[in-house]
């Protein structure tokens, strides 16, 4: 299938929605599409005068913000390759990524700049403040970079002497196989790798969003950006799609608390909500479950005449929590707890769970909420094929393979990893295990890297045990590990819940042992836990809120 220029879509959208609001920092400034266009042109002048050529790398590191988005669009529309770097990365990781990517320039947020050492990034020719009104120069190694910044306004005036207008925009004409983004993974099991995302993958993901949401999202509609824009999930569906639709993106900025998110949803009433399971689960467990566990409500739920009315009221409260104006909530990034999903399905809540990977920019599987099959992650997305590498894909888990327009070009400077992940027939080996029903719905069973081997050779999928363990009393988060062929559950308990329930340390030990006994009664013998070990702090997570389980494999038990 032919794929049009991605930058042409951005250009057309900006021109058509010139006077409309485009990007906002929630509670602060707003940029209209014509403001975005003007700043992009100024950044193009900086890139050109700094000696950046088509295909050169430009790194962007900082919290979600309107200026982050503008710097990203300016890089692509100039013809350079954007290198988004998650601001949660350790400074040494930032240094490594900038160096490994061969980035010439770095746009960096005010919060990040004091922590990094520019001397450890010798290939950089310049560093610019990404949160400054004028993109001030923080560090310049060459006369060209310093000249570009010092003469920016004069150069802009010379380029557009008769005022800057929509028809003056002329963005770089990209080709499908050309690299657009070099995105470094934030995986739970290994070090970051540079994923080379081509323009065709960006276009295909944005086109997918148009196919799914265009009947519901109109120009001018609000979208709340929660997820890291430097991650492909948030980038594709909370930013790039909107920038080709004429929507208005509101960046929450700093890591949003549930209180801030719910306030933003209530005020902005977004037309679609992109979320990770952790957000949904926290709202259900803290705001909904306590209400339905009240004796009067539990009794009413046993009465057929009242059950449907109560479910309708609960569904209404859930919708109001997210602004009561959305078509559906699409959940991705990690598996959702089965009890929570059963609850949501039971009240008819309009959610769906997708499946993707950075290497697919990101979408692999999806189904709309009204056709979504509980427990699955949907079917192969448009322009994608999915199959299970198993002798019996219906019943025996095998690796999930994907092929199509969304697939990456490979890993930057890592031919071995590319060969191990992309086979000769173009199939991307996800490393995830799953089965597929006769209708094409994919059910994920776990990561192949996470699979444990039982004493008698049984395949043990820790995620399936964790899902059941997480449903037991006072278990907020958990990880199952293996030591000397025995399984142990690592558990974090929410101190606020313990305080509210007046649970002492000794009583909590007793409850956790009861949890272990109860769990062992409902899992196969080879999946039973030897003990439950409580950890003092929340598990360390990736920016998309997946637990970095590799950090706990050797945890003392």
pLDDT of amino acid 189: 44
Strands (E), 281-427: 329-331, 351-353, 355-356, 363-366, 379-380, 384-389, 398-404, 410-411
Q: What is the distance between the alpha carbons of residues 359 and 412, in angstroms, rounded to a whole number?
A: 12
Q: Please tell me the distance from the alpha carbon of residue 477 to that of residue 65, in angstroms, as a whole number.
A: 30
Work out the mean pLDDT of the chain and round it to a whole number. Answer: 90
Residue 134: pLDDT band by 50, 70, 90 thresholds? confident
* Residue 195, pLDDT above cutoff 70: yes
For 422-449, the pLDDT digits (tens) are 999 999 999 898 999 999 999 998 777 7
Residue pair 54/93 in contact by the 8 Å Cβ criterion: no
CATH code for position 339? 3.40.50.12780
Domain that holds residue 130: 6-198
Q: Residue 314's pLDDT is what?
A: 84
- Token pair for residue 60? 């962007």
CATH code of residue 18: 3.40.50.980
What is the mean predicted confidence (pLDDT) over 252-272?
A: 84
**Number of domains the chain contains:** 3
Instruction: Please determine, for residue 457, whether its predicted confidence score (pLDDT) is greater than 90.
Output: no
DSSP 8-state symbol, 360? G
318: CB partners within 8 A, 6+ apart: 283, 284, 288, 344, 347, 349
Q: Assess if residue 112 is contained within a domain.
A: yes
Same-domain pairing of 308 and 443 = yes
Kindly state whether residues 387 and 476 are assigned to the same domain.
no
Q: Could you read off the pLDDT of 111-129 as tens digits, one per residue? A: 899 999 999 999 999 999 9
pLDDT band with cut points at 50, 70 and 90 for residue 526: confident
Q: Are residues 483 and 348 in the same domain?
A: no
- The sign of the torsion formed by the CA atoms of 277, 233, 182, 92 equals negative
Q: Does residue 230 lie in a domain region?
A: no
Indicate whether 340 and 473 sit together in one domain. Answer: no
pLDDT at 191 over 70: no
Q: Which helix (H) or strand (E) holds 61?
A: strand 57-61
- So what's the pLDDT on residue 554? 86
Do 342 and 361 contact (CB within 8 A), yes or no? no
Q: Are residues 287 and 415 in the same domain?
A: yes
> Taking CA 79 as the corner, what is the angle to CA 78 and CA 85, rounded to the nearest 5 degrees?
90
| φ, ψ dihedrals at 301, nearest 5° | -65, -15
Give the pLDDT of residue 190.
47
Residues 156 and 280 in one domain: no
**Residue 8: Cβ within 10 Å count:** 16
Q: DSSP string covering 73-119, please? A: HHHHHHTPEEEEE-TTS-HHHHHHHHHHHTEEEEEE-TTTGGG--GG
Query: Is residue 252 included in any domain, yes or no?
Result: no
Residue 80: band (very low, low, confident or very high) from pLDDT cuts 50, 70, 90: very high
pLDDT digits (tens, 9 = 90+) for 35-49: 999 999 999 999 999
C-alpha to C-alpha distance for 421 and 438, rounded to whole angstroms: 26
- CA-to-CA separations, 44 to 50, 161, 236, in angstroms, rounded: 10, 16, 23
Q: What is the mean pLDDT of residues 52-68?
A: 95
Question: What is the side-by-side order of every strand in the sheet holding 486-492?
Answer: 477-483, 486-492, 529-534
Strands 103-108 and 57-61: parallel
Whether residues 411 and 313 share a domain: the answer is yes
Query: Among residues 198, 233, 261, which one ends one of the domains?
Result: 198
Tell me the C-alpha distance between 337 and 135, whole Å: 43
Q: Which of 398, 419, 447 is the last residue of a domain?
A: 447
Q: Which residues of 205-237 are buried (b: 16+ CB within 10 A; e: fewer)?
A: bbbbbeebbeeebeeebbbbbbbbbbbbbbbbb
Q: What is the pLDDT of residue 275?
A: 85
Provide the pLDDT for residue 186: 60
At which of 198, 233, 255 does a domain end?
Answer: 198
For residue 313, is it within any domain?
yes
The verdict on residue 249 lying in a domain is no
Question: pLDDT-based confidence at 57, cuts 50/70/90?
Answer: very high
Whether pLDDT at 84 is above 60: yes
Q: Please check the confidence at residue 315 and state whether its pLDDT lies above 90.
A: no
Question: Does residue 432 share a domain with residue 536?
Answer: no
pLDDT at 221: 96
pTM: 0.84
In a domain? residue 233? no
- Per-residue pLDDT tens over the stretch 487-518: 999 999 988 889 888 999 889 999 999 999 99
pLDDT digits (tens, 9 = 90+) for 212-256: 999 999 999 999 998 889 989 999 999 999 999 999 999 987 666
- Same-domain status, 194 and 287: no
- Together in a domain, 433 and 500: no
| Residues 442, 478 within the same domain | no
pLDDT band at 188 (very low <50, low <70, confident <90, very high): very low
In a domain, 192, yes or no: yes
pLDDT in tens, 286-298: 767 777 766 766 7
Whole-number pLDDT of residue 5 = 95
Instruction: Give the CATH number, domain containing residue 536.
Output: 3.30.300.30
Would 148 be classed as within a structural domain? yes
Q: Is residue 439 domain-shared with residue 303, that is, in the same domain?
A: yes
């Amino acid at each position: 299938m032919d794929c049009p220029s991605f930058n042409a879509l951005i250009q057309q959208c900006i021109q058509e929605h010139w006077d409309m609001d485009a990007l906002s920092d929630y509670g602060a400034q707003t940029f209209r599409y014509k403001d975005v266009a003007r700043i992009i042109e100024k950044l193009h002048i900086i890139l050109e005068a700094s000696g950046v050529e088509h295909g050169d790398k430009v790194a962007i590191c900082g919290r979600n913000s309107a200026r982050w988005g503008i710097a990203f669009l300016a890089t692509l529309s100039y013809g350079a390759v954007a290198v988004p770097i998650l601001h949660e990365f350790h400074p040494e990781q930032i240094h490594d990524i900038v160096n490994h990517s061969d980035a010439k320039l770095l746009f960096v947020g005010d919060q990040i700049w004091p922590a990094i050492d520019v001397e450890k990034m010798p290939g950089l020719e310049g560093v610019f403040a990404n949160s400054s009104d004028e993109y001030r120069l923080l560090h310049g190694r060459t006369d060209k970079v310093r000249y570009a910044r010092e003469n920016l306004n004069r150069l802009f005036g010379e380029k557009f002497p008769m005022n800057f207008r929509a028809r003056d925009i002329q963005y770089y004409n990209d080709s499908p196989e050309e690299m657009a983004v070099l995105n470094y993974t934030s995986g739970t099991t290994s070090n970051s790798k540079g994923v080379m995302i081509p323009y065709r993958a960006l276009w295909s993901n944005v086109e997918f969003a148009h196919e799914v949401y265009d009947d519901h999202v109109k120009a001018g509609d609000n979208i709340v950006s929660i997820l890291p824009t430097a991650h492909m999930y948030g980038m594709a569906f909370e930013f790039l799609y909107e920038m080709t639709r004429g929507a208005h993106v509101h960046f929450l900025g700093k890591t949003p608390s549930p209180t801030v998110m719910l306030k933003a949803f209530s005020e902005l009433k977004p037309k679609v909500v992109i979320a990770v399971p952790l957000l949904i689960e926290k709202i259900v467990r803290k705001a909904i479950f306590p209400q339905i566990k009240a004796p009067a409500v539990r009794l009413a739920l046993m009465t057929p005449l009242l059950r449907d009315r109560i479910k309708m009221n609960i569904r209404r409260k859930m919708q109001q929590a997210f602004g009561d104006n959305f078509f559906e909530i699409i959940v991705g990034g990690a598996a959702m707890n089965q009890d929570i999903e059963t609850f949501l399905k039971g009240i008819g809540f309009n959610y769906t769970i997708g499946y993707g990977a950075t290497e697919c920019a990101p979408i692999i599987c999806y189904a709309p909420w009204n056709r979504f099959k509980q427990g699955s992650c949907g079917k192969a997305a448009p322009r994608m094929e999915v199959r299970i590498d198993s002798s019996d894909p219906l019943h025996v888990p095998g690796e999930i393979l994907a092929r199509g327009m969304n697939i990456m070009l490979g890993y930057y400077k890592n031919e071995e990893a590319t060969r191990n992940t992309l086979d000769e027939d173009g199939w991307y080996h996800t490393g995830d295990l799953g089965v597929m029903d006769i209708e094409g719905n994919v059910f994920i069973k776990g990561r192949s890297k996470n699979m444990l081997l039982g004493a008698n050779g049984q395949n043990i999928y820790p995620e399936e045990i964790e899902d059941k363990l997480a449903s037991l009393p006072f278990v907020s988060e958990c990880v199952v590990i293996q030591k000397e062929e025995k399984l142990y559950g690592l558990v974090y308990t929410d101190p606020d819940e313990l305080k509210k329930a007046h649970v002492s340390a000794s009583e909590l030990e007793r409850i956790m042992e009861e949890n272990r006994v109860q769990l062992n009664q409902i899992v196969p013998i080879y999946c039973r836990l030897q003990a439950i070990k409580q950890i003092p702090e929340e598990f360390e997570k990736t920016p998309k809120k997946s637990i970095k389980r590799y950090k706990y494999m050797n945890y003392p038990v």
